[in-house]
A and B are shown apart, each in its own frame.
Chain A
Amino acid sequence: GDSVTQMEGPVTLSEEAFLTINCTYTATGYPSLFWYVQYPGEGLQLLLKATKADDKGSNKGFEATYRKETTSFHLEKGSVQVSDSAVYFCALSDGGSGSRLTFGEGTQLTVNP
């Protein structure tokens, strides 16, 4: 079945540091890939997505590129802020639909001033 693997956390960075959170997936067909963010005490929010190979999703300074050859969708940000502290989830939807998301375990990010 489908699966998503994220780098183990938690991750602690200083403000303005570079962020990478690794995500690899296993799926049949051509899935859509997503990054969701969960701020403390809140539900998940879509951060960015990519629906086909080589697509780059971007939002709020975050980027991720759909790499079919390495089955990866790593999240990056050039300069993190304290307000980026949250849990980040990589997810996939097989067949390109928003239904039946498969989530990774989540990565806790803490950014210190």
Chain B
Amino acid sequence: NAGVTQTPKFRILKIGQSMTLQCTQDMNHNYMYWYRQDPGMGLKLIYYSVGAGITDKGEVPNGYNVSRSTTEDFPLRLELAAPSQTSVYFCASSYEGPGGRNEQFFGPGTRLTVL
């Protein structure tokens, strides 16, 4: 299993540009999450999904959109990039339900810079 994969690894955007961060998991997990990690800070939850077709806002959703059309994929969309969105973005997934181990599995991250 590849686990949680994210693309791209690095990206530089100009202010006002848009982009989609891709996230895929092959563990058949029902829950998926997007976090951002700012320097010297913990992770903040942007959006999460409890299953295909169901998404909800986290702590810092402004400026982002998500969709979950399949169990495997959970892309994060930035519509009008701003310097405040410069951060490292992590996708994660977990299985919640009978037999679940309460563990989130993280991807390697995408480092985004907005200039």
Chain A residues proximal to chain B, CB less than 8 Å: 4, 32, 41-46, 49, 51, 89, 91, 93, 96-101, 103-106
Inter-subunit contact A105/B102 (CB<8 Å): no
Q: Is B98 an interface residue (CB 8 A)?
A: no
Inter-subunit contact A98/B94 (CB<8 Å): yes
Inter-subunit contact A89/B106 (CB<8 Å): no
Q: Is B31 an interface residue (CB 8 A)?
A: yes
Residues of A within 8 A of B33 (CB): 99
Inter-subunit contact B94/A99 (CB<8 Å): yes
Residues of A within 8 A of B41 (CB): 105-106
- Docked Cα-Cα span, A43 to B4, in Å, equals 10
* CB < 8 Å neighbour of B106 from A44, A93, A99: A44
* Number of interface residues, chain B, beta carbon within 8 A: 25
Shortest C-beta distance, A15 to chain B (Å), equals: 26
Residues of A within 8 A of B92 (CB): 43-44
List 10 additional contacts besides A41-B108, A46-B104, A91-B42; criterion CB under 8 Å: A42-B109, A43-B106, A44-B43, A89-B42, A97-B96, A97-B102, A98-B102, A98-B104, A105-B40, A106-B42
Inter-subunit contact B90/A99 (CB<8 Å): no
Inter-subunit contact B45/A96 (CB<8 Å): no
With contacts A44-B90, A98-B31 known, is A93 near B107, CB below 8 A? no
Shortest C-beta distance, B23 to chain A (Å), equals: 11
Inter-subunit contact A45/B102 (CB<8 Å): no
Inter-subunit contact B42/A100 (CB<8 Å): no
Residues of A within 8 A of B108 (CB): 41-43
- 29 A-B contacts (beta carbon < 8 Å): A32-B102, A41-B108, A42-B109, A43-B92, A43-B107, A43-B108, A43-B109, A44-B90, A44-B106, A45-B106, A46-B104, A51-B102, A89-B42, A96-B102, A98-B31, A98-B94, A98-B100, A98-B103, A99-B48, A99-B94, A99-B96, A100-B58, A101-B45, A103-B43, A103-B44, A105-B40, A105-B42, A106-B40, A106-B42
